[in-house]
Amino acid sequence: MNLTAATRIYGVIGDPVSHSLGPVMHNRAFDITGYPGVYAAFRVKDVKAAVSGIMALNIAGVSVTIPHKVSIIKHLDAVDEIAEKIGAVNTIVNTDGRLTGRNSDCDGAVRAIAEHAPLTDQDVMILGAGGAARAVAFGMIRQGARVCIASRSRKNGEALASALGADFCPLDQVSGESIDILINTTPVGMHPDINAMPISADALHPHMLVMDIVYHPVRTRLLQEAAARGCRIVDGVSMFVYQGAMQFEWWTKIQAPLEQMKQAVYAALQNK
């Protein structure tokens, strides 16, 4: 990596963030395309201070992850139409000192699912009610799916369902008989708590397609149990790479080297 005074700085902010493979993916993309960029991970607790730092240091672009996707909005100069409708931001683009929030989680999830199943007229259960759930649910609804939000917090789940025109179900009451597609947007099952599951395995049925947006480990306990019951499964790497490729293109105006980015993520996961 040839770092010079002309190198543009990018990164991911979140808490926790040490597990993130954003640096692996985006630095590989910079290397392949020859773009003069470098991407790092920043553990952030104070979002307002982080935004001031982005401005002060002229950081060119930022990925936003748990738990800041909603709270960061009020600190930005602008939010694009899609991110505003979703109510969550996972990408910041710095254009001459003006910070604009965008959301690539939405289309990233749609592309990952669409490789395996249609979305129109499907019954989709979203586990979680955070920033990722907002984006994924919005994308599913926009594609013509019927969505139900399931979360431990009735207040947060019902608020999100109401905002999107979706249904709500308490997480402990999820039953899979009428679900076509189940998507986990919570961090449950993420390393190091790899034996945890967001729902009971009894809620999984063979007709379902199950996606987990957690990508470390690639085969979460949820996906292992789903596969054992005959479900089709989609791991979190696909969505992660698709949303990352969109970020890369927003930042650089260069076509993302999608396959090389995906290979870099899988290779890094094999070494963990």
Dihedral sign (CA 89, 90, 92, 93): negative
Query: Within 13 Å of residue 147, how many CA atoms lie on the same side as its CB?
Result: 29
Q: Tell me the β-bridge partners of 14.
A: 43
Cα–Cα distance measured from residue 94 to residue 96, given in angstroms and rounded to the nearest whole number: 6
Q: Cis ω on the peptide bond leading into residue 118 (within 30° of 0)?
A: no
Q: CB within 8 A of 134, min separation 6: which ones?
A: 69, 70, 86, 87, 88, 160, 164
The SS3 of residue 108 is helix
Taking alpha carbons only, the member of 121, 272, 139 closest to residue 211 is: 139
Owner of token pair 């992660």? 240
> Active-site positions?
69
Cα–Cα distance measured from residue 5 to residue 7, given in angstroms and rounded to the nearest whole number: 6
Report residue 101 as tokens.
């929030």
Q: CB within 8 A of 138, min separation 6: which ones?
A: 82, 85, 86, 106, 164
